[in-house]
Amino acid sequence: MSGATGRLAGKVAVVTGGACGIGAGTVRAFHAEGASIVIADLQAEAGEALAAELGERALFRRTDVTDEASVSDLVDTAVAHFGRLDVMFNNAGIIGAVGPIDRTRTEDADLTIAVNLRGVLLGMKHAARVMKPQGSGVIISTSSPAAVLGGVGAHVYSAVKAGVIGLSNSVAAELRPFGVRANVVIPGAVVTSMTADLVAGGADDLAGAEAALDRSRYMSRPLRPADVAAGVVYLASDDAAFVTGVVLPVDAGMTGAGGSSPMADEKYADQAGRREAGRRVGDPDPEEV
């Protein structure tokens, strides 16, 4: 990662869903900033390859975030191997149940809730049991624009991603006196295998995803995992020492400035302000004409 400054030197981080996409991008960014990393994922081959690529200060742990024993073991592994836990990035997620609400399969909805909300809850629980007595730590969780905007995501996915925000804000209030911060990141549409599976020729078609997202981009290029990772690094670092209970969108303004501004139109250049009945600032008062 270019421009790394060692902001996370000496810190220990766990990243769930860390074998690919935003998770892998954040693992690389954390490592470049000096952190030791436990990569947690069900994708063992990809996770082990990433740990081998990074070498020192990185290890992989196969983890099912829906299973409490698995998450508990993950946190214990971080502490046993590296001596502490400073950052828990609850990033693992799936699209899950899709389709019309009247045809939603309950078993698909249950799995979506289990991965995307229960998994975050378990990550928070087991991170907190280490961080509270330690007197420090940061918990970061991944939400989505679908949490705050209707019509941009599947129904159950939207619901649980909104739940992540509510859960994190509540936990932030509890853990603040213990020196532990809790925040949320909202990535926009990112060039990842998950996105490629939705908008391109399949999960491996990252070039197709890049091309598809380029057609609807908000800024000069599509969003990439490293862009989101930069925001997560900030939240994890001491630069954000007084930042807790917040939602950080890294989405090119999708959630906060989704519309196109008419003020970008050339016809408004050098125009005077408007007053009543279409009069411009500087026009004579009607009573004076």
Is residue 85 within 8 A of residue 137, CB to CB? The reply is yes
* Distance separating alpha carbons of residues 89 and 103, to the nearest angstrom: 33
Give catalytic residues, as residue numbers.
157
* Distance separating alpha carbons of residues 158 and 148, to the nearest angstrom: 8
As given in the structure block, the two tokens for residue 247 are 């939602």
Per DSSP, 152 falls in state S
Overall size of the chain counted in residues: 289
Single out the residue of 238, 219, 229 nearest to residue 25, CA to CA.
Answer: 229
H/E element, 235: helix 225-236
* Distance separating alpha carbons of residues 106 and 257, to the nearest angstrom: 35
Of the CA atoms within 13 Å of residue 32, those in its CB half-sphere come to 15
Query: What is the rounded (10 degree) CA torsion for 258, 259, 262, 265?
Result: 70
Is residue 49 within 8 A of residue 99, CB to CB? The reply is no
Q: How would you write 174-194 as a 3-class SS string?
A: HHHHHCEEEEEEEECCECCHH
